[in-house]
Amino acid sequence: MDITVEQPGSRDAERADGSRPSGRPPLTERRKAETRLAIAHEAVRLFAEHGVAATSGEDIARAAGISPRTLWRYFPSKEECVRPLLSAGLESAARRLRELPAGRPLREGLQAGVPSAAERADVSSALLRLIRLLPDEPGLRAVWLRVHHDAERVFTEVIAARTGADPDGLVPRLKAVMLNGALRVAAEEWARRSAEADQAAGDEAFRRAVLQATESLDI
Amino acid sequence: MDITVEQPGSRDAERADGSRPSGRPPLTERRKAETRLAIAHEAVRLFAEHGVAATSGEDIARAAGISPRTLWRYFPSKEECVRPLLSAGLESAARRLRELPAGRPLREGLQAGVPSAAERADVSSALLRLIRLLPDEPGLRAVWLRVHHDAERVFTEVIAARTGADPDGLVPRLKAVMLNGALRVAAEEWARRSAEADQAAGDEAFRRAVLQATESLDI
DNA sequence: GCCATCATGACAGTGAGTGCCAAAAACTGT
DNA sequence: ACAGTTTTTGGCACTCACTGTCATGATGGC
């Protein structure tokens, strides 16, 4: 379910079966998730305004209203602060694919587009700004690549389950990685076209890329 | 030709037309390339023996017989020290694709396998050890991903030139990224099988992955 | 309201990475 | 071979990303 790697601050996320460890209050959990997202938004804003290099961890912490020590407990590096925004679309895509009725081609679960996948408008607009930062910011690009890399495992499992193939086999992994790369390009294209033209053009570009990829992969 | 990003220490690599800036002596150039590779080998050895976290930049510099300050001029981070090994195979693959006669399918330029692409036995064996470190070392995995990301541009151009498509268009980029991901999986599979079984098995796995990918991409 | 648990913050420390300048080495021409 | 120039290297001091540890405060269970 959860694509992001375990953060030191979220010691007890939900288990695979949905139960919570002892009696962990969802209130605290929710507040922590909000803090995570607030940090991400502030980080993107500062990165966009001054660049990554000129933004210190202390700056981000101050903007988010927490101490630097707490910031490092939420994220292992300042670049990683933007991860919640970058991974939102992929998590949503993975969820859709899992819930897709058997027999339907995977592309049906992927053509919803980025903005509807992000679900919240502020997330979507922050994501747009963020993706436009990627070409000039190698550190953020690295996070973008890592986020997608983390998603490969999930896609592999989904594809294997759907085609009845061995999840550790070569073909499902190959298709998953290729699909994943296509989703990355599609998202980048979405951001480019959304900024150049309008949102509809961005969505259209996303859909076209997904279709092209899923057809050639036959999924 | 050169996939690796420009390093601060190599201020004047060869130009695209093959000429050198003023009268830059190839002797110095060659010595620097040797130093780069020597650093890479020592870094892999130390990373494999003690782990990345327990290996300091000073350790690598001492093993390579240079000062720490010089090490940071050759590479921007200790993880990046392994880049020359990781990028060797991709550079070789890109070269093969460029030199492939027009009309031939791209897969013919890719099926040579990793070891022959690395050309030197010590590079190939170091690469094998290195790829086996990737699952446990997030920092090195990030370099692996970045190296492949850097190769995407080259593959895009090759594919666009071969199919007569617009190099800035969606389809060439899509195919390049997907092919690139497949090459990454193929190399990982090569390393796994080479260690589990023997070199022939590794080569076979590599070839199978490349064939599968190029066929579905129709290149 | 009391207790256990856990998130937060303050402080000090490590080490990666950089700017700056001086020394050394390599290349140029004569 | 030698002088002059350019380039590479090394030493030093510095910044800052990030961590271990402990004290403190907030939260939830009872």
What are the pLDDT digits (tens) for A139-196? 999 999 999 999 999 999 999 999 889 999 999 999 999 999 999 999 999 999 999 9
Predicted confidence at residue A187, as pLDDT, reads 95
Residues A136-151: tens digit of each pLDDT? 999 999 999 999 999 9
Percent of chain A past pLDDT 70, that is, above it, reads 87
Map tokens 């290149």 to a residue. B219
Residue of B141, B205, B216 lying closest to A218 (CB–CB): B216
Which residue's CA shows the smallest distance to C1' of C26?
A: B28
pLDDT higher than threshold 50 for residue A9:
no
Predicted confidence at residue B154, as pLDDT, reads 95
Task: Establish whether the CB of B199 is closer than 7 Å to any nucleic acid atom in strand D.
Answer: no
Residues B103, B105, B108, B110: is their CA dihedral positive or negative? positive
Q: What is the mean pLDDT of residues A34-59?
A: 96
| CA-to-CA dists, residue B158 to A68, B87, B104, B105, B140, angstroms | 47, 17, 13, 12, 28
Predicted confidence at residue B123, as pLDDT, reads 87
Amino acid found at B116: S
If one compares B206 and A17, the residue with the highest pLDDT of the two is B206
Residues A204-216: tens digit of each pLDDT? 999 999 999 999 9
| CA-to-CA dists, residue A42 to A15, A32, A85, B126, angstroms | 29, 15, 11, 42
Map tokens 């190698």 to a residue. A138
CA angle centred on B18, ends B15 and B23, rounded to 5° = 75
With CA atoms as reference, report the closest residue to B178 among B215, B144, B141: B215
- Interface check for B38 against chain A (CB to CB < 8 A): the answer is no
Q: How far is A174 from chain B (nearest CA, A)?
A: 6
Q: Please give the residue of chain A at the shortest CA–CA distance from B146.
A: A142
Give the nucleotide nearest to A72 (CA→C1').
Answer: D18
Long-range contacts of B135-140 (CB under 8 A, 24+ apart): B137/B47, B137/B51, B137/B52, B138/A146, B139/B52, B139/B79, B140/B47, B140/B52, B140/B79, B140/B82
For strand D, give the nucleotides within 7 A of a protein CB.
Answer: 7-12, 16-21, 27-30
d(CA A158, CA A104): 13
Task: Establish whether the CB of B125 is closer than 7 Å to any nucleic acid atom in strand D.
Answer: no
- Interface check for B211 against chain A (CB to CB < 8 A): the answer is no
Predicted confidence at residue A212, as pLDDT, reads 95
* A103: region left, alpha or beta (phi > 0 left; psi from -120 to 50 alpha): left
Phi, psi of A110 (to 5 degrees): -115, -10
Q: Which of residues 124-183 of A touch B (CB under 8 A)?
A: 138, 141-142, 145-146, 149, 170-171, 173-174, 177-178, 180-182
d(CA B79, CA B141): 9
Contact A85, A39 (CB under 8 A): no
Q: What is the mean pLDDT of residues A61-66?
A: 95
- A119 pLDDT band, cuts 50/70/90, is confident
| B86 vs A contacts (CB less than 8 Å) | none
Q: Give pLDDT < 50 ranges for chain B.
A: 1-22
- Cα B132 to its chain centre, rounded Å, is 15
| CA-to-CA dists, residue A75 to A8, A37, A40, A60, A92, angstroms | 8, 11, 10, 11, 21
Q: Which of residues 55-84 of B touch A (CB under 8 A)?
A: none
| A141 vs B contacts (CB less than 8 Å) | 146, 149
